[in-house]
Chain A
């Protein structure tokens, strides 16, 4: 039965039809499928399929990225509320948009996918000062600081990732946190992430899921209890 549900769910997500995706999930709940199974055997495999497809399908567009990530996040959120026990999480990240930058959609796709993949996400908003990224990472005991920057001057500027790296170095925190960046300027120059002091970058919001999980596991391979 789960196979049929998974296929129907994937079809709905592929067509970015949120209403249809929720219909599949609600029907599955009615049939007695547990919220845990819906997340681990339907939503997560669907996100993984989507990540694989997006990287090789030239026809997938940005609008579809936004919509699929939104569906994954909303379904997961709804199911998590129904879980018997809080799920084991993979890790924690703080995510925000660099100082001077108000673009919020990129980090939103990343957050959506990560939530569906059982990563705890602390979204600290847009126009975030570099000091705030470090404080929040300490506060939430995160493994990754993710910085979105959609404009050249916020990606490469003095108050962006560069400064966060400097603060981590000064405070002796480089072993605790990995820095991941994303946004249009990094797509135009695939080496740019290095020059701003990041550990990794992702070309799109959906594939950022896997890249960030790799970085989380590089810092902390053990399972953690939810906060």
Chain B
């Protein structure tokens, strides 16, 4: 890793950048994107930056063509061409207008080595993970098996409620709200695609017409809201066990609204009211059923979804652990985005060392994301500042305890700890319920796949110390930052995407935790901050 020292109109930034990465790629996943209208080939010449000092790659042919000699002498470079060989300092005077869409770091996605060479027309495809909090989109050249670019942005339905229930309730109590929310989500998806085309291809409308397939996965409620239907049905507990109708009434209307006349829009059927197609995409990405019996998958998010493969059956459930792991409902909570505290460790002088996403110093922290919260709770517990009950040994007051005394946005409140305890207890109790359903015990678990942005920065030892994850000797742990979108991408590059989903769904057995005897007992017993009680 090298440090990129960036002077931007809003001040100075210090970013961790892998050696060899271009400045454009480094900035595309942050708030400060360069202007761009091509895929980084140097053909648009829009991504001008000024080189100040440091170790970077020499000027390329594209730069000689796009930048005149006088400007070159002043240090002007193209951000897509200039790569870091070591620490460097650059100036970005004219960033792109602020946008909610950012690139997903490449490391978050699994490599896909498939293609569909037989395709003749409309070779592009879009994979969409429609999350409650975030929407993630990838655009692919399916014929050549090449990912053009990705985007992640907020689900605009959030203004009608942070969680699924509030949104469904909003639809129930406001006539017309359902249609409004459906339109919001649909236009967000196409905005993300347009952002990719504008910045990474350089052509929008003609390219939209070349898109041949769009696969959208998500939790059942998000898909029902996307189609503008099913809201009330999802509020009826009897309907949760059933498959919920999420298909668009008129797919042709969507493709014309999106200016994608040739796009086949595929919404793989969610498994049940409380288990969506996003979990099935996770199963595809992790290859869960290709692993040994006793393979567990945990997708930690606003709605945590869990799968257990026992060799014959996929036992599935979901648990509304609360959005604590995505930073929602936490005083200074935020998603795993640049300048979020994602790692906390204790220092020798009774202080705390904070790690930020993007690598900036602790003073730049804007808030704390899920893995940072898990770390903070574990470290405070080890230091004796938190009791196993979740109570602070010395109450920090309503503003909370600052991990960095100088930064109020590093504070953890009593309420944050409470939200964390409830989320981790719900997760642990759900894991126990699945093991019971399969007649298995903890010592039979061989593989644990932790999915979600949360998993990327997770400190396993800390997660085990507070009882968020089991500490198992015989078990391998795999972390997948973005399994859902990765699974959706794999489907996009398979000639029969529909069958990939339906063959997995056919192996499932869903468990509604509300109807499981003893779930509440397990939940309450797992609330204390201590290693997970490993007794099924």
**Interface SS of chain B:** helix
Query: Are A59's CB and B528's CB within 8 A?
Result: no
B interface footprint on A122-137 (CB within 8 Å = 1, 0 otherwise): 0000110000000000
Stretch at the interface among B217-225, B335-343, B413-421: B413-421
Stretch at the interface among A25-33, A61-69, A77-85, A210-218: A61-69
B interface footprint on A142-156 (CB within 8 Å = 1, 0 otherwise): 000000000111000
A10 at the interface (CB under 8 A from B): no
How many angstroms between the C-alpha atoms of A16 and B388 in the bound complex? 8
Residue in contact with B414 in the complex, picked from A14, A59, A105, A126, CB distance below 8 Å? A59
Query: Are B390's CB and A105's CB within 8 A?
Result: no
Stretch at the interface among B91-99, B367-375, B519-527: B519-527
The interface residues of chain B lying within 8 Å CB-to-CB of A60 are: 391
Which of B169, B173, B236, B237 has the most chain A CB within a 10 Å cutoff? B237
B206 at the interface (CB under 8 A from A): no
Query: Are B169's CB and A153's CB within 8 A?
Result: yes
Query: Are B398's CB and A58's CB within 8 A?
Result: yes
The interface residues of chain B lying within 8 Å CB-to-CB of A141 are: none
Query: Are B523's CB and A105's CB within 8 A?
Result: yes
How many angstroms between the C-alpha atoms of A104 and B389 in the bound complex? 22
How many angstroms between the C-alpha atoms of A62 and B425 in the bound complex? 12
Which of B236, B389, B421, B520 has the most chain A CB within a 10 Å cutoff? B389
Given contacts A61-B417, A63-B527, A105-B523, contact A126 B387 (CB under 8 A): no
Query: Are B418's CB and A62's CB within 8 A?
Result: yes
The interface residues of chain A lying within 8 Å CB-to-CB of B235 are: 100, 151, 153
Query: Are B236's CB and A100's CB within 8 A?
Result: yes
Query: Are A108's CB and B237's CB within 8 A?
Result: no
Query: Are B418's CB and A108's CB within 8 A?
Result: no
Query: Are A59's CB and B392's CB within 8 A?
Result: yes
| Min CB–CB distance B238 → chain A (angstroms) | 8
B507 at the interface (CB under 8 A from A): no
In the complex, which range does the number of interface residues on chain A fall in?
20 to 34
How many angstroms between the C-alpha atoms of A60 and B395 in the bound complex? 10
Query: Are A66's CB and B514's CB within 8 A?
Result: no
Q: What total of chain B residues lie within 8 Å of the partner, measured CB to CB?
A: 31
Query: Are B237's CB and A102's CB within 8 A?
Result: yes
B165 at the interface (CB under 8 A from A): yes
Query: Are B520's CB and A151's CB within 8 A?
Result: no
Given contacts A17-B388, A100-B237, contact A61 B520 (CB under 8 A): no
Query: Are A64's CB and B391's CB within 8 A?
Result: yes
Residue in contact with B425 in the complex, picked from A14, A58, A63, A152, CB distance below 8 Å? A63
Query: Are B169's CB and A63's CB within 8 A?
Result: no
Residue in contact with A102 in the complex, picked from B395, B514, B527, CB distance below 8 Å? B514
Query: Are B389's CB and A67's CB within 8 A?
Result: yes
| Min CB–CB distance A110 → chain B (angstroms) | 13
How many angstroms between the C-alpha atoms of A59 and B421 in the bound complex? 14
How many angstroms between the C-alpha atoms of A187 and B528 in the bound complex? 25
The interface residues of chain B lying within 8 Å CB-to-CB of A127 are: 237
The interface residues of chain B lying within 8 Å CB-to-CB of A100 are: 235-237
Residue in contact with B520 in the complex, picked from A18, A67, A108, CB distance below 8 Å? A108
| Min CB–CB distance B141 → chain A (angstroms) | 45
**Least CB separation from A69: chain B residue:** B524
How many angstroms between the C-alpha atoms of A59 and B417 in the bound complex? 10
How many angstroms between the C-alpha atoms of A104 and B517 in the bound complex? 11
A76 at the interface (CB under 8 A from B): no
How many angstroms between the C-alpha atoms of A63 and B527 in the bound complex? 6
Which of B172, B391, B524, B527 has the most chain A CB within a 10 Å cutoff? B524
Residue in contact with A63 in the complex, picked from B395, B398, B418, B520, CB distance below 8 Å? B418
Q: Add 6 more A-B contacts to A58-B414, A66-B523 (CB < 8 A).
A: A64-B418, A67-B524, A100-B236, A102-B237, A102-B515, A105-B524
Interface set of A (CB-CB < 8 Å, partner B): 14-18, 58-64, 66-67, 70, 100-105, 108, 126-127, 151-153
Interface set of B (CB-CB < 8 Å, partner A): 165, 169, 172-173, 235-237, 387-392, 395, 398, 414-415, 417-418, 421-422, 425, 514-515, 520-521, 523-525, 527-528
* 3 A-B pairs with the lowest CB-CB distances in the bound complex, closest first: A61-B418, A102-B514, A16-B389
Chosen A-B contacts, 18 in total, with CB atoms closer than 8 Å, are: A15-B389, A16-B388, A59-B391, A59-B395, A59-B414, A60-B391, A61-B390, A61-B391, A61-B421, A63-B389, A63-B425, A64-B418, A66-B523, A102-B515, A108-B524, A151-B165, A153-B169, A153-B235
